Amino acid sequence: MIDPSRHAVLWLLIFFVLATAATRTATRYIRHRADQAEAYLKENAEPGMFRNIAIAGIHVHHQVWGILMLLFSGLMLITYLPERGLWLDVLAAIFGTGAALTLDEFAMWLHLEDVYW
């Protein structure tokens, strides 16, 4: 049995691993489709769950969503200081997902350029 005081850490770890796997899979799928058809990268590409997101023609990397998730969950943790329970577990899961999305694009931090596309 896991100590209840460690549940939040477990949820953080589970969601970090799941988000990392999902992000790598989705990114490889998008790259595969882009390699098959250059038109897929255009804004008028067919809609779907796995596609690039562009705002005003600028590709929005998933690290942006990860940073926003980290900021949101950190702010909620600091503001409300939830005790053990559902809210702490949910915020830990959001933090783990945000950390995975952000760290997945660490190469872009390192090179300060779009190394994937």
The domain locations on the chain are 4-111
Helix (H, G, I), strand (E, B) or coil at 75: helix
pLDDT for 110: 76
φ, ψ (nearest 5 deg) of residue 58: -105, 125
Measure the CA angle with vertex 8, ends 72 and 20; round to 5°: 65
Query: Whole-number mean pLDDT of the chain?
Result: 84
pLDDT over 60 (residue 41): no
Q: What band does 107 get if pLDDT is binned at 50, 70 and 90?
A: confident
Q: At 84, is the pLDDT very low, low, confident or very high (cuts 50, 70, 90)?
A: confident
Widest CA span in the chain: 52
pLDDT at residue 27, rounded to an integer: 84
Cα-based angle 13, 106, 115 (whole degrees, multiple of 5): 140
pLDDT at 92 over 90: yes
pLDDT for 34 beyond 90: no
The average pLDDT across 101-117 equals: 77
